[in-house]
Amino acid sequence: MEKSNKDSGFLHIGTKLLNWYKKNARDLPFRQTRDPYKIWICEIVFQQTRINQGLNHYNNFIKRFPDVHSLAEAQEDEVLLYWKGLGYYSRAINLHKAALQIMDDYHGIFPKEYEEILQLKGVGKYTAAAVSSICFGARIPAVDGNFYRVLSRIFADDFDISNSRAFAYFSELAGLVMPENAGDFNQAMMDLGSEICKPKNPLCNECPLNENCLAFSLNTISEFPVKTKKVKTEDLHLIYYFVHHQGQFLIQQRKDDFIWKKLFEFPTAVPEHIEPFNKGPKTINHKLTHKNVSIDIYDVEITSKAVWDSFTAENEYLVTDFGASHEKSFPKPLENYIQNSLKD
């Protein structure tokens, strides 16, 4: 559907949505503030995490790092530790780098302009729009999956959301229905998309916009949004060695050039003279975005203290134990392996 068929007469849809939001907005801690730092943190936390799953993580993160200064001054490992359980750890690394940017480039004051916010490490167009509209009143739609879904259904618009022009297209489309209060409008779209206009089994009868929804009136809700391009899933095989002795085990920190950046892991190889202690592998399957990961973890229990002391002295691995490992951030499958080892 071409936007030339639409006109400014659609602003009443945004007004109706705002009226619904005033009565039905979710009671969330970051809704009680216009602090750009806290809004920024919440937007990054909930990019890949449902609110009910990530709310405690958000609260704990803000409690430890209440402002840009405290986040910038922290060590990266501690930031990763407080991100533990949220996954996609590159987000935490980028938060820390962006906090340093704000300290260096803006004297510790969060930038106000959309284009400046967009320059922060790890901040995309959606996050920059959300922060600038909610905190500074910029009239910019925070277009994300909720916008694609809601708008494509309202207008029965078959524009392919996998198209490289989708963000620009739906941003323009959002402008037709967005009232002056863009901050509340963006949050209303988030609530509507997550609570009512769901990808599957939407609650159309409860939707405040069902009278304005063309797909609802045509009974074609399930056909929108249109997405034709599928990202190919890659198979990835990893091998680890859980080398341990009397409650202690060896770990190392990953580099930042692949998945699980800067997280801790087990050794990825052992020398031949350690092989006699190898009790065999356990295979774990784990799904990442666009990756099916198969992990073989070999249980290497070194029973000789002399061999253990010699091996740890000759290598640069860190020696930890089950208690101290809680102070490190591991990929979820390795963390689960450690926890299960405690039970064995």
Contacts 24+ apart (CB under 8 A), 94-97: 94/44, 94/121, 94/122, 94/123, 95/41, 95/44, 95/71, 95/122, 96/71, 96/72, 97/121, 97/122
* Residue 335 a catalytic site member: no
Nearest to 322 by CA among 300, 298, 304, 344: 344
Instruction: For the beta carbon of residue 214, count every other beta carbon within 10 angstroms.
Output: 15
Residue with tokens 């963006």: 186
C-alpha distances (whole Å) from 297 to each of 119, 264, 307, 311 are 40, 15, 21, 19
Tokens representing 209 are: 């916009």
151-201: pLDDT as tens digits? 999 999 999 999 999 999 999 999 999 999 999 999 999 999 999 999 999
Of these residues, 43, 113, 116, 195, which one is catalytic? 43
pLDDT tens-digit profile of 202-256?
A: 999 999 999 999 999 999 999 999 999 877 889 999 999 999 999 999 999 999 8
- Residue 8: the pLDDT is 55
Cβ neighbourhood burial of 218 (10 Å; 0-12, 13-18, 19+): exposed
- pLDDT-derived band at 50 (thresholds 50, 70, 90) equals confident
Q: With beta carbons less than 8 A apart as the criterion, state whether 161 and 227 touch.
A: yes
Query: What is the distance between the alpha carbons of residues 176 and 173, in angstroms, rounded to a whole number?
Result: 6
Residue 160: exposure state from Cβ atoms within 10 A (0-12, 13-18, ≥19): middle
Q: Quickly tell me which residue has 């489309």 as its tokens.
A: 173
User: What was the pLDDT predicted at 343?
Assistant: 65
Average pLDDT score, the chain: 94
Six token digits for residue 289 = 């975005």
